[in-house]
């Protein structure tokens, strides 16, 4: 454990006032939003703010009937809050690492549990993963984001990005899968193996298979999803 004088500790950990982009990594686990308008963020992710900012929970019909029914069906945990105003907003999610993407008319699908924040200019929609309905731990949905603007996602520990090609399909553990190219549509397959029975409980192990052209982001951690009511 490092020893600091109080002045040294303040210098080491204080915010960097020279940063002023809309999304900035204040640390690798804290997102700074330089807000002058509006941002969507994961409910409960605010850890601090300065200025005049108002927080509103996502309303039932905020994004139309279609998304409302999807949220009700999945029971998913990506309840959103809308932060509006002017100031500095700091977001974090259980100490996970944060990655910022700048979408430029492209798209990415994110596991709902790994979505932290995005600009209002980004289009989004909930995609159900119906073949996953048998998994008791949840994780039945992902969020497709496209258009133009900043998106922040979270991962446990260091993420790994794997290139997918038509000659090289990729299989992943659903609980370790964070995000993938918006054009990819994963297929789900089951595999009964000796490892399944001896190691992680009896039954079928479920895998996600990605084929085509794109990428998949995985984390070295198997997430247990906790669903909440919308």
- DSSP alpha helix (H) spans, the chain: 6-13, 65-74, 194-198
| The model's pTM | 0.81
- pLDDT tens digit at each of 230 positions of the chain: 467 766 776 777 776 766 678 999 999 999 999 999 999 999 899 999 999 999 998 654 455 544 544 444 334 445 788 999 999 999 999 999 999 999 999 999 999 889 999 999 999 888 777 555 445 344 467 889 999 999 999 999 999 999 999 999 999 998 899 999 999 989 888 776 655 555 554 445 788 999 999 999 999 998 875 444 33
pLDDT of residue 223: 81
Distance CA 85, CA 39 (A): 9
Instruction: List, in order of start, the domains of the chain with CATH numbers.
Output: 19-218 (3.60.160.10)
- Cβ of 17: how many Cβ atoms within 10 Å? 7
Helix (H) or strand (E) segment spanning residue 133: none
Q: Are 207 and 189 in contact (CB under 8 A)?
A: yes
Phi–psi pair at 130, nearest 5 degrees: -60, -35
C-alpha dihedral (64, 151, 101, 71), degrees to nearest 10: -50
């Amino acid at each position: 454990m490092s020893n600091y004088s109080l002045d040294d500790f303040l210098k080491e950990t204080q915010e960097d006032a020279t940063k002023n982009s809309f999304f900035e990594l204040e640390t690798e686990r804290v997102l700074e939003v330089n807000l002058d308008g509006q941002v969507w963020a994961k409910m409960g992710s605010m850890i601090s703010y300065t200025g005049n900012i108002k927080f509103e929970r996502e309303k039932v019909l905020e994004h139309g009937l279609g998304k409302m029914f999807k949220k009700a069906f999945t029971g998913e945990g990506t309840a959103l809050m809308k932060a509006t105003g002017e100031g500095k907003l700091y977001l974090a999610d259980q100490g996970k690492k944060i990655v910022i993407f700048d979408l430029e008319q492209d798209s990415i699908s994110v596991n709902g549990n790994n979505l932290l924040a995005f600009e209002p200019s980004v289009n989004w929609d909930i995609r159900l993963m119906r073949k996953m309905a048998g998994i008791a731990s949840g994780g039945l949905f992902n969020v497709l984001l496209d258009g133009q603007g900043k998106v922040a996602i979270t991962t446990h520990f260091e993420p790994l990005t794997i290139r997918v090609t038509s000659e090289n399909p990729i299989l992943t553990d659903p609980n370790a899968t964070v995000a993938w190219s918006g054009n990819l549509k994963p297929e789900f397959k089951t595999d009964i193996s000796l490892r399944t029975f001896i190691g992680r409980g009896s039954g079928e192990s479920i895998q996600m298979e990605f084929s085509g052209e794109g990428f998949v982001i995985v984390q070295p951690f198997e997430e247990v999803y906790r669903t909440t009511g919308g």
